């Protein structure tokens, strides 16, 4: 987990909340900081009306955990703040996470109270990870969940992630990764392509057409550069004339036209008829313009070949956070005995004890329940599927869950996970989670 001597790293240690370190300081003072503890990440509920959620961000968290160390600059900042005492700074100087992390595989569907990540370590080590863990998991799971609803609504037609200009520059990269896990075919973001091996796509904006003296001149320049198989944006001026000009310039090999405004259902229909009448029966139609899962579903009967999705995707389509929390559920007492602990506050209660989870399935292989064992694995038969896998073993990160290959595996897990859910998971109308969460004590 530690870097080679002299290896440069960008520390993630201060991407955290002030109170994580004041808790650490007080726990060091009381002597409880080194008690073995179990923390659990879960969501008490899904966004209103959603049928399932999708785990996103696990790989990014593990990558961030690798760099969760306090270098000279971080330690100097903490010392100069005057808030943290010498004992706390000295502890952080040698900080390395040495515990275990278990979790749902990235791309997996989840439900209320699913134990998505379990951190087992000393209180001190687990406490300081809270903010970084939740900021990554809440964002990426929200995007993956929204993206999944969109790809389900698309019914096999490819979706293109193109939301970089609608969010923070780093969130844009994370969003592209999360969208790929949930089935998006390509992204417009080059950094996401470089970092995670994603396919990238894009051609031209309206400004490119406006730059030239005529629409025809713009199309000729684009085709000369990118070939006739490119996609031409035809709604800068008049859509019908734009389509006719695109066909005139690129001929029957024109890859696609893009529609970015107006009534897309109606427009796609007559655009298809016009293209066919001009001999461009193989030219596709790509639609954009602030799409969400509902707009995509409304286009199901339209002759559309692909959807470009931006703002609604990178903002979670109305649910910009997965509302996950990170709670202490078990700890050792002074004698070393394990004690289950839980928050009892109204509407924010948690269930104490270390959790184990499986997906119960019927004889047809369809999921019927999320079953959580408290303190022990729940009873299982041959059809049930365990959901927790070890991600970190005594501080050593399993690299199978990081990097570009992990995104491919997460996308495969997502497809397999949805395939075993009841058919009701495809419904966009508000409803309850498609399977219940059950506890076994």
Whether 41 and 117 have beta carbons less than 8 Å apart is answered as yes
- The more confident residue out of 325 and 347 is 325
Count of CB atoms within 10 A of residue 94's CB?
8
Q: Quick check: 7 pLDDT over 90?
A: no
Question: Side-chain half-sphere of 311: how many Cα atoms within 13 Å?
Answer: 5
Rounded Cα distance between 21 and 320, Å, is: 27
Q: Which two tokens stand for residue 220?
A: 């000729």
**Spatial separation of the C-alpha atoms in residues 189 and 161, rounded to whole Å:** 8
Report how far apart, in Å, the C-alpha atoms of 5 and of each of 9, 140, 326 are.
11, 32, 33
Residue 427 burial class via C-beta count within 10 angstroms: exposed 0-12, middle 13-18, buried 19 and up: middle
Task: Name the strands in the sheet holding 437-440, side by side, starting at the edge strand that comes first in the sequence.
Answer: 385-386, 355-361, 367-374, 437-440
Predicted pLDDT of residue 429 = 95
Q: How confident is the model at residue 9 (pLDDT cuts 50, 70, 90)?
A: low
Fold for the domain defined by 18-128+323-440: nicotinate phosphoribosyltransferase (3.20.140)
Mean pLDDT of 158-167: 97
Q: In this structure, how many other beta carbons lie within 10 angstroms of the beta carbon of residue 110?
A: 26
Q: pLDDT tens-digit profile of 235-259?
A: 999 999 999 999 999 999 999 999 9
pLDDT for residue 381:
83
Q: What is the DSSP string of 392-422?
A: EETTEE-GGGSHHHHHHHHHHHHHHHHHTS-
Residue 52 has pLDDT above 70, yes or no: yes
Q: What is the C-alpha separation between 350 and 115, in angstroms, rounded? A: 11
**Burial track 5-27 (b if 16+ CB lie within 10 A, e otherwise):** eeeeeeebbeebeeeebebbbeb
Domain at 155-318, CATH from 3.40.50.1820, 3.40.190.10, 3.40.50.150, 3.20.20.70: 3.20.20.70
Nearest to 59 by CA among 16, 97, 105: 105
Average pLDDT in the chain: 96
The CA distance from 6 to 315, in Å, is 39
The alpha carbon of 388 is separated from its chain's Cα centroid by a whole number of angstroms, namely: 18
Q: Residue 349's pLDDT is what?
A: 82
Name the helix (H) or strand (E) containing 231. Answer: strand 231-233
pLDDT (tens digit per residue) in 114-133: 999 999 999 999 999 999 99
- Angle, nearest 10°, between helix axes 58-66 and 169-181? 130
User: Could you give the CA distance from residue 326 to residue 118 in angstroms, rounded to a whole number?
Assistant: 9
Query: For the chain, how many helices (H) and strands (E)?
Result: 15, 19
Which letter, b or e, does each residue of 306-339 get, where b requires 16 or more Cβ atoms within 10 Å of its Cβ? bbbbbebbbbbbebbebbbebbbbbbbeeeeeee
Q: Which of 355, 366, 293, 303 is nearest to 330 (CA)?
A: 355
Q: How far is CA 185 from CA 189, 201, 231, 288, 326, in A?
A: 12, 10, 16, 15, 32
Q: How far apart are CA 300 and CA 167, in angstroms?
A: 28
Name which of 4-18, 93-107, 353-367, 414-428 the model is least confident about. 4-18
Burial status of residue 341 (CB atoms within 10 A of its CB: 0-12, 13-18, 19 or more): middle
**Could you tell me the pLDDT band of residue 8, with boundaries at 50, 70 and 90?**
low
| CA angle at 205 for the pair 221 and 257, rounded to the nearest 5° | 75
CB-count burial class (<10 Å; 0-12, 13-18, 19+) for 217? middle
For residue 192, pLDDT beyond 50: yes
Instruction: Calculate mean pLDDT across residues 360-385.
Output: 93
% of the chain residues with pLDDT over 90? 93
- What pLDDT is recorded for position 3? 44
Question: With contact defined as beta carbons under 8 Å apart, do 353 and 340 qualify?
Answer: yes
For the residues 205-226, what does the mean pLDDT come to? 98
**What is the value of pTM for the model shown?**
0.95
**Domain spans of the chain, in order of start:** 18-128+323-440, 155-318
Residue 94 makes CB contacts below 8 A (sequence gap 6+) with none
Indicate whether 25 pLDDT > 70: yes
């Amino acid at each position: 987990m530690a870097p080679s001597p002299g290896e440069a790293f960008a520390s993630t240690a201060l991407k955290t909340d002030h109170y994580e370190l004041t808790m650490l300081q007080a726990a060091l003072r009381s002597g409880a900081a080194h008690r073995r503890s179990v923390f659990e990440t879960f969501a008490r509920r899904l966004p209103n009306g959603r049928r399932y959620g999708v785990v996103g961000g696990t790989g990014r968290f593990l990558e961030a955990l690798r760099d969760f160390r306090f270098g000279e600059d971080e330690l100097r900042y903490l010392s100069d703040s005057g808030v943290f005492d010498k004992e706390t700074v000295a502890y952080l100087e040698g900080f390395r996470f040495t515990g275990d992390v278990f979790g749902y595989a990235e791309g997996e569907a989840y439900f209320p109270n699913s134990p998505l990540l379990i951190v087992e370590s000393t209180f001190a080590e687990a406490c300081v990870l809270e903010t970084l863990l939740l900021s990554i998991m809440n964002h990426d799971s929200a995007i993956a969940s929204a993206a999944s609803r969109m790809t389900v609504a698309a019914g096999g037609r490819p979706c293109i992630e193109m939301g970089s200009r609608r969010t923070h520059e780093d969130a844009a990269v994370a969003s592209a990764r999360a969208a790929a896990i949930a089935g998006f075919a390509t992204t417009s973001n080059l950094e996401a392509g470089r970092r995670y091996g994603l396919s990238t796509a894009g051609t031209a904006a309206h400004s490119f057409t406006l730059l030239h003296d005529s629409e025809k001149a713009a199309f000729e320049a684009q085709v000369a550069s990118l070939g006739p198989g490119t996609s031409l944006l035809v709604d800068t001026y008049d859509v019908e004339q734009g389509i006719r000009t695109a066909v005139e310039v690129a001929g029957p090999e024109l890859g696609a036209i893009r529609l970015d405004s107006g009534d897309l259902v109606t427009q796609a229909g007559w655009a298809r008829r016009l293209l066919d009448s001009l001999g461009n029966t193989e030219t596709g139609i790509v639609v954009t313009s602030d799409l969400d899962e509902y707009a995509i579903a409304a286009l199901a009967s339209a002759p559309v070949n692909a959807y470009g999705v931006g703002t609604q995707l990178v903002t979670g389509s109305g649910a910009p956070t997965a509302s996950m929390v990170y709670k202490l559920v078990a700890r050792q007492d002074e004698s070393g005995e394990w004690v289950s602990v839980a928050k009892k506050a109204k509407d924010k209660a948690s269930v104490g004890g270390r959790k184990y989870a499986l997906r119960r399935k019927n004889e047809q292989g369809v999921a019927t329940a999320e079953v959580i064992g408290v303190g022990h694995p729940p009873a299982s038969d041959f059809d049930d599927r365990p959901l927790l896998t070890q991600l970190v073993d005594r501080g050593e990160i399993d690299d199978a869950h990081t990097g570009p290959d992990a995104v491919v595996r997460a996308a495969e897990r997502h497809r397999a996970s949805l395939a075993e859910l009841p058919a009701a998971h495809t419904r966009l109308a508000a409803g309850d989670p498609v399977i219940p969460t059950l506890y076994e004590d």
